[in-house]
Amino acid sequence: MNTINNRIDNSTNSNASFQKAYARFPIAYKVSLAFAIMSILTLGVMWSIVSSNLKGLVLDLSDTVGQSLASQTANASAELILAEDLLSLNVVITEVTKAPMISGAAITNTEHKLLAHAGEIDFTREITQRNLDATNIPSLATQGLYIAPITFQDVVAGYALIHLDKTLITSNINQSLQWMSLATLSILCISIISALVLGKHITDPIKHLTKGTNALQSGNLDYRITEKRHDELGTLIHRFNEMAQGMKERQQLTQTFHRYLDRNIANDLLANLDNPTIPTQYVNASVLFVDIVGFTAMCEELAPEEVGELLNTYYHYTLKASSLFNGTVDKFIGDGVMIIFGAPQDDDLHSFNAVCCAQLLLGLVNSYNRTRKEINLPTIQFRLGVHSGEMLAGTLGSDERMQYTVVGDTVNLAARLCGLAHPGKLVISEAVYQGAGGNSRLTTQEQKLLKVRGKSSEIPTYTVDTLKQPYAERITSHIESIDNALLENQIKTKNNEPA
């Protein structure tokens, strides 16, 4: 039983291996193989039918000719045999043997005595070994011997014998069949070559499409198939190029969205192009406000190009820092920035991430100030404020213009905390302090209580000095990484500038 099961398993594995190998067999070869098999079967059947019919036709024709010659010879010899004119009989037989393919002829009487003969055949042996009666005459034709009775007034006086050399007939047939075989093989070779060419003509565009899909998958959206065809595959190639162009345009649209909108908001809008809005809802989130201290006075002392460079660096730092801590840059307000944490994507650590982002910005501006001092440019200072709580978040505006933002008392209080902060400092509310982990993660100084309009109790505030380890070390690592990337980008930009 185990042996039978093993054989079944081996057979199953063999079939699976064959199917796997056939699946990997190139389509061009599959087409060629199918075409070749069809050609072999078709040509083989045709060759068999034609060769069989040709042999039968030629042999039947030779039998007809042989029997006709025998009958004509018998008719010509009837009076001569009765007159016992042996000389004339030999003349008749000699003339008969001059015909092509006749290897011998003879005349016998009814007693099978040879009266006249000509040719290479020994009719003495033939007439002694064979029965020349009427019932046996048709069977002798298959051996090339044709016999006709010599009759006179319905009386049989003898027999006329004609022997055809069928080797010449069969050799001609075989030669014809050889030429037919050669023609069949030639047609088969031409068919296989044509199938290979046709298969290649079909599979080349498929290879181009496979290469193109691999290129698109790897991110090369500029790949196009240049082959021009006017068939179904040409239509498929045209559709592929249109798809690649559409993907490139979508990528450009995405990149444009990312330049003018926060990445999180842009991705949400692009994922819902049929309804490009983000639902308005109340969320629990954190808001960070950043402001450059004394920016207006600084602008009066700097050239417009220097102000533009300063703001570009400031915005660059803001975008990098916010993306590292799941923040969404809501808007740039002149020299101020508003960053949201916990919306539109939920984030349970939004308070702590807001504090980390603020500390990273303070570290980046300190590093940037060292560079500005080296080239005798005025330094800048940030003041920052963070508050956490419930706020209304969503797409707000009119049909003509909309934007994603958050509104509410929480947002207003965050802006007030930013205004309370000293240069280079971050002020947070009690809600942020508790949400960020309090004393376990932050080193802070307690500030004065903040009186908020519409609220009966004052709100405790804190100034954050530093993050505790290992968080402070991570902030330092981020500062080095962002500064190095900015420096490399500036070097590349400078090298690409025309001399």
pLDDT in tens, 29-81: 777 777 778 878 887 888 788 777 877 787 778 788 888 888 888 888 888 88
141 CA to centre of own chain: 69
Averaged pLDDT score across all residues of the chain: 81
The answer to whether residue 94 scores a pLDDT higher than 70 is: yes
The reported pLDDT for the residue numbered 488 is: 79
Backbone dihedral angles phi then psi of residue 97, each to the nearest 5 degrees: -70, -10
The reported pLDDT for the residue numbered 132 is: 59
Question: Do 146 and 161 contact (CB within 8 A), yes or no?
Answer: yes
Per residue in 250-278, pLDDT (tens digit) is 778 777 766 666 666 666 666 666 555 66
The reported pLDDT for the residue numbered 462 is: 94
Domains of the chain, CATH where assigned: 1-202 (3.30.450.20), 219-258 (no CATH), 279-496 (3.30.70.1230)
Instruction: Evaluate the omega torsion of the peptide bond into residue 149 and state whether it is cis, within 30 degrees of 0.
Output: no
Rg (CA), the chain: 53
The reported pLDDT for the residue numbered 129 is: 55
Describe the chain by its helix, strand, coil percentages, rounded to 5. Answer: 60, 20, 20
The reported pLDDT for the residue numbered 499 is: 39
Position with higher pLDDT, 286 vs 81: 286
The reported pLDDT for the residue numbered 135 is: 43
CA 238 – CA 229 distance, rounded (Å): 9
Question: Do 432 and 285 contact (CB within 8 A), yes or no?
Answer: no
User: Which residue type sits at 308?
Assistant: G
The answer to whether residue 325 scores a pLDDT higher than 90 is: yes
Place of tokens 């192009």: 273
161 CA to centre of own chain: 78
- Mean pLDDT for 369-395 is 91
Q: Quick one: 433 exposed, middle or buried, by C-beta within 10 A (0-12, 13-18, 19+)?
A: buried
The answer to whether residue 22 scores a pLDDT higher than 70 is: no
- Per-position b or e across 338-374, b if 16+ CB within 10 A of its CB: bbbbbbbeebebbbbbbbbbbbbbbbbbeebbeeeee
Q: DSSP per residue over 178-200, as a string?
A: HHHHHHHHHHHHHHHHHHHHHHH
Alpha helices in 375-461 (DSSP H): 409-420, 430-435
Neighbour tally for 65: CB within 10 Å: 17
Tokens encoding 43: 């040509």
Q: Which of 38-42, 169-173, 407-411, 473-477 has the lowest mean pLDDT?
A: 169-173
Per residue in 106-165, pLDDT (tens digit) is 888 888 788 888 888 777 666 655 555 544 445 455 567 888 888 888 888 888 888 887
- Mean pLDDT for 200-229 is 83
- Mean pLDDT for 14-37 is 65
- Mean pLDDT for 94-104 is 84
CA 489 – CA 238 distance, rounded (Å): 38
The answer to whether residue 445 scores a pLDDT higher than 50 is: yes
Instruction: Kindly tell me the number of DSSP H helices and DSSP E strands found in the chain.
Output: 14, 12
CA 90 – CA 105 distance, rounded (Å): 10
